Amino acid sequence: MRLPPPRDETASVSAKTTRNTGLVLHRAIEQARRWGLLPLNVCSLVDLPRLARPETQALTAEEAQRVREAARGDDLEALWVMLLTTGLRQGEAIALQWSAIDLEAGVLRVVASMIRIAGEEPRLVEPKTRKSRRTIDLSADAIASLRRHRQRQSEAVIRPLTRDGFVFQRADGRPLSFTTMWKAWRRLLRKADVRLLGVYSARHTAATLLLERGVDAKTVSEMLGHSSVGFTLDVYGHVTARMSKHAANVMDDLFRTAN
């Protein structure tokens, strides 16, 4: 048996590891303080490292259009259209059931999410926050894609379609797996000949393209299910910075015309 090399005790750990360890220790000692076992939670005196938010990765408008074209006729075409136009989280898309979609009204309701836990089967849970539970208007493209998807699904599944059936499912009715979705997404990006970004980039793409085209941050925040508009502006600050520059140019043009 080959043993792993000994750990270098002098090696540094990441800021994320340090912060997570500190938070766990803080909760444990805080509970001891509440029980009267300790007079003070000394962890409250420690400043934990702040985590730098990684820059979001999104497809450009041209790349998104190429992905959309490459998706035509794909078995998961409706999924890709949904991700790119609604900004759904991966777990929300996989958890989506037909009962949550009204194609006549052109809306979908986010009422559940699928989560992955190591060593366990994916589990259906309620949205983690009140803002995550939301109603999203569907584009004409998304509605048409979903109609075609439902027709193909009714012809392919073993059991008859039901309102509580998963929109994106396997032939036996179980929900689409995360792994299958990830692999299919990579194949799609290769077919479209664009950068190989993760599935989550579709969510960032939807938000970025909407903001760049002047949709207000509050509307985008509600569509994404963010906790606040401030959070949306924080995540997509690089986009709003470009919009601010554009606004300045618009004012220049306005007063140049007036003069």
CA triple 171-175-176, angle to 5 deg: 80
Both 142 and 204 in one domain: the answer is yes
Instruction: Answer yes or no: pTM beyond 0.85.
Output: no
**pLDDT tens digits, residue range 129-152?**
899 999 999 999 999 999 999 999
Which domain covers residue 29, as residue numbers?
20-45
The answer to whether residue 7 sits within a structural domain is no
pLDDT at 59: 95
pLDDT at 1: 44
71 phi/psi in degrees, rounded to 5: -80, -15
pLDDT at 157: 63
DSSP states along 61-113 = HHHHHHHHHHHTT-TTHHHHHHHHHH---HHHHHH-BGGGEETTTTEEEE--E
Q: Is the pLDDT of residue 3 over 60?
A: no
Percent of the chain at pLDDT exceeding 90? 55
Inter-CA distances, 180 with 80, 94, 177, 185, 222, Å: 13, 11, 5, 9, 29
Find, among 104, 122, 102, 106, the residue nearest to 114 by Cα: 122
**Which residue stretches of the chain are H helix?**
15-34, 61-71, 77-86, 90-95, 140-156, 178-192, 200-212, 217-224, 229-235, 237-258
Amino acid type, 142: A
Both 28 and 67 in one domain: the answer is no
The answer to whether residue 247 sits within a structural domain is no
pLDDT at 18: 81
pLDDT band at 16 (very low <50, low <70, confident <90, very high): confident
Strands 107-110 and 123-125: unpaired
pLDDT at 230: 92
Both 38 and 139 in one domain: the answer is no
Number of domains in the chain: 2
Average pLDDT over all residues of the chain: 87
Both 29 and 101 in one domain: the answer is no
Amino acid type, 213: R
Structure token pair of residue 217: 């941050």
Amino acid type, 149: H
pLDDT at 51: 61
pLDDT at 154: 82
**pLDDT tens digits, residue range 28-74?**
988 888 898 888 888 888 888 776 666 679 999 999 999 999 999 99
Average pLDDT, integer, range 63-89: 97
CATH number at residue 145: 1.10.443.10
pLDDT at 240: 67
**pLDDT tens digits, residue range 168-180?**
998 888 999 999 9
Yes or no: say if 134 and 223 are a contact pair by the CB < 8 Å rule.
yes
